[in-house]
Amino acid sequence: MTDRTIQTVNPFTEEKLESYPLMSDDKMFEALQSSHDAFLSWRHTPIADRAKVIARIGEELTAAKDEFAELMTAEVGKLLKDSRDEIDLCAGICAYSAAQGPKVLADEERELQDGRKGIVTYSPTGVIYGIQPWNFPAYQAVRYSIANLMAGNGVLLKHAENCTGSGMMLREIYERAGLPKGLFSVITIDHDQSDKLIAHDLVRGVTMTGSAKAGSIIGKTSGEHLKKTVLELGSNDAYLVLEDADIDLAVKTCVVGRIYNNGETCVNAKRFVVVDAVYDAFVDGFVKAMADIRTGDPMDGETRLGPMARSDLRDTLHAQVHDSVKRGAKVACGGEIPDGTGYFYPATVLTDVTPGQPAYDDELFGPVASVIRAKDDEDAMRIANDSRFGLGGGIFSKDEARAVEMAKNHFDTGMVFINHFNLAAPEMPFGGVKDSGHGREHGGFGMREFVNAKAIALAA
């Protein structure tokens, strides 16, 4: 940015919110040094004491829920109720990490074959640099930072520009809860500065959530400097509606799965692969339900779909819809940018979706659903896996045991939801395969991503 400032904008009113100066290189490296200096003490803080601070962060998040939720909604346009739910999830992550962290990170003793004794200890490594997106301003940052703080690391956050205020509030909450000042820092920098930061010796790992294209760039830059990465990237998650599915449940759940968070979620339901035997019944109900969704003020509890976070994101989505239609897809509902203020896009359903269309091949990051016809259950599974992505997915079937078998042995994704839609649970690993990235967060896995699994062997 030529004026070296970040400007946040309310996507509902299109009014400016706040301006934030971009850091100089010197200030950026000062923040890194401060995090490292705080880490040198934090790493030696007993795990039980670290857990107490993490637990208090969750309590502080809950206490600040209304204020934080309103800020997130103002910055990115998500429904206020979704913002409140997000804070609840963040508090749950803190509670889980505080309770399970001491167990996950505890030393392990092993008896070696030659009679020696071995100890595996999980040592913190240093400052972990996180590059995070705007769609979950609190959760995306909490997800990686709490795990790493519990592990004893320092954390830097480069948040998306349009939710800079949310990042700043998160830092205040962490420090109110007793986290040492400087250990978690929010840095306002541009992409060129980010590359310099990755190269610095004090950065010991890089985690990023965003598009596959951005992940490839970050992965390449990190690899050049031999920095480990965790990458949680985009996806076009397929939800299978099998012949024995409860169609009413599938319709209701798939609508929620597509429009949750205004459709701007990596693990949203995006492709709906429906077997021929129930295709017409599902499409009839699904299109009607999507067409009935109304957009409005995200602060209003009656609104079901708020504005998209930025105008350029809406333009990109509309171009993908337009290109898909040119290549043979049909618009069953929606598909037009409305007049008026706010970055709104209607709930949209595309049918006749086939390979070669953006609606089939790419991620549509907004409230647009792609419906794909399959011959039978086997063909539906083939279509689901016919993607370069592999974050999540779902199966609707009354035969739960068979659905579990399909999920375990055939679905090529990191997560599968059976007869429901969900985003994340603190107790379960979160992450994907293929172009959806690598590494895991949640479920204790994130606490071990950026630690040194150190082997200590004693003489016999």
Give the span between the Cα atoms of 433 and 437, in whole angstroms.
6
- Annotated active-site residue 427? The verdict is no
Letter for the amino acid at 359? A
Burial class (CB within 10 angstroms; exposed 0-12, middle 13-18, buried 19+) of 20? middle
How many residues are listed for the chain in this entry?
460
Contacts (Cβ under 8 Å, ≥6 apart) of 224 = 199
For the chain, counts of helices (H) and of strands (E): 14, 18
Active site residue 254: no
- Residue 173 token pair: 């909450």
Instruction: Give the three-state DSSP class for 72.
Output: helix
The Cα 241–Cα 275 span in angstroms is: 6
Classified as helix, coil or strand, 206 is strand
Q: How many CA atoms lie within 13 A of 346 on its CB side?
A: 20
Q: Give me the catalytic one of 266, 333, 363, 441.
A: 266
Rounded Cα distance between 453 and 448, Å, is 8
Catalytic residue among 86, 232, 363, 449: 232
Q: 207 and 144 in contact (C-beta within 8 Å)?
A: yes
- Residues with a catalytic annotation lie at 232, 266
